[in-house]
Structure 1
């Protein structure tokens, strides 16, 4: 069983997959969780909006169906607008047989069974801006964003592309999204299979960061990378407080890069920092 990602973990996963995002209001805490649990989650469900200018609707909903109506809206230009997080009013009830197939990553039934299980509690939901009339196109950038965001979530959970379904595959009541879900699952599976997770490297914090008695998890991460590169000069550690052992170790890294004299003073600069590839320290 899979617990939902935290909002921050979702945002990181989307960024790492190259998704262009916009975050709206209090999306991280805006949900319908007071109506029931969200999770364990078993997959991603895709929808189309059946209209344009759908951002406000996805966030606020209607009197009969309060928002948020999804976690994110994928606009025509491929931007993913994050509007809520948690239980959202996107799926409604659907087929137990479909949920069982998704949960075990098996092929879906040829036709959904009777509506018997709450999909809002079990799926991440995303709306795709489209009229759904068979004539309104899905631009390449929009489909690319659908592929990337689906792959990002699946990759984070260790799921295959089979965990991504359309609303029309969940219940006989719906026809969305109006594109081929088998084709989209093939795209998602190919991305998961051929694209390794993108490492998150810490941006250069500036030379002024490296002062005596500075404490940060980033300094520990830096020290570990220096040790991995054979430049560690630590008797103990590395640890979170910047000190002489860190400076001496970094000077060894600078010399390894070919720096000499004052250029190998042990104080990180942007070029040498970027080459060291220090991971993000959460």
Structure 2
């Protein structure tokens, strides 16, 4: 439970976490606050748009449901477009039991009757996706969803339990069409370390850029492989009998898979082959 962040503090928190932000004119005062106060706020609610080219629609809405329809729209490339700040028509009415669980940072119950106005209690973000199970969420987009959720939770002192999906709020909805439990796991991992982006006025930490998944072929010899292994050991994910060493092998794959699982990935997404999102969270020092 908290007063909403000021628009300036909100943007600074996002950028400290490494979120790429585009500000659209007048977003700081574009809201539905004339319908009632926004706040105190209790958490972050995520949605999918169920359509494409959604920026104008999310900003303006339509006659039955005027805009803004969210605080920001998260594009496929991972850019967060800020279009409103304050009460937005994104959540609608939802479960009092779910709101109580979010406030108490407890596991979520199944949503009960729609009895509470969520527009007044949550930051809301639309993620551009058809939601049909076939439209992919690019890695950059999911990574940005993790980062923006982490940024707001960090700024308010909330845990990952303060992030929910629209489908967890009301029986009327099913979005977003990805695992919220996995996202909350990644938010928890993000909150356990320092912000991923540079603090205002300070130089960014110097880390190795992602060399691409193809770099990590079996038998690859490089000082970077050793550096990756040392970071995995430091994160409690080392699965080495000896080492780590400079040659990429099975022990490195097992160790990196443990790191991916720590971030909340599972199945084929935790195969031990580095991807950009997990790499950016590992912070391998510049060689």
TM-score by length of 2: 0.69
Structure 2 unaligned segments of length 5 or more: list them.
204-287
1:9 aligns with 2:9: yes
Residue matched to 2:113? 114
Q: Which secondary structure state, in structure 2, belongs to the residue aligned with residue 76 of structure 1?
A: coil
Deviations 1:120-164 (A, max 9, x none): 000000000000001000000000000000000000000000100
Which aligned pairs between 1:257-276 and structure 2 lie closer than 5 A?
A: none
Deviations 1:188-246 (A, max 9, x none): 11101123586735379xxxxxxxxxxxxxxxxxxxxxxxxxxxxxxxxxxxxxxxxxx
Contact 2:150 2:160 in 1 (8 A): yes
Structure 1 distance, partners of 2:166, 2:19, is 22
Structure 1 distance, partners of 2:202, 2:183, is 34
Deviations 1:88-124 (A, max 9, x none): 0000000000000000000000x20000000000000
Q: Which secondary structure state, in structure 1, belongs to the residue aligned with residue 94 of structure 2?
A: strand
Q: 1:148 to 1:196 in 2, by over 3 A?
A: closer
Structure 1 distance, partners of 2:174, 2:46, is 11
Q: CA deviation at 1:25?
A: 1.1
Residue matched to 2:284? none
Higher alpha-carbon Rg:
1
Residue matched to 1:45? 45
Structure 1 distance, partners of 2:48, 2:200, is 35
Q: What RMSD over aligned residues (CA atoms) do the two structures have, in Å?
A: 1.4
Residue matched to 1:89? 89
Residue matched to 1:279? none
1:180 aligns with 2:179: yes
Residue matched to 1:69? 69
Q: Which secondary structure state, in structure 1, belongs to the residue aligned with residue 130 of structure 2?
A: coil
Contact 2:106 2:161 in 1 (8 A): yes
Residue matched to 2:135? 136
Number of residues of Structure 1 aligned to a counterpart in Structure 2: 203
Structure 2 distance, partners of 1:143, 1:166, is 14
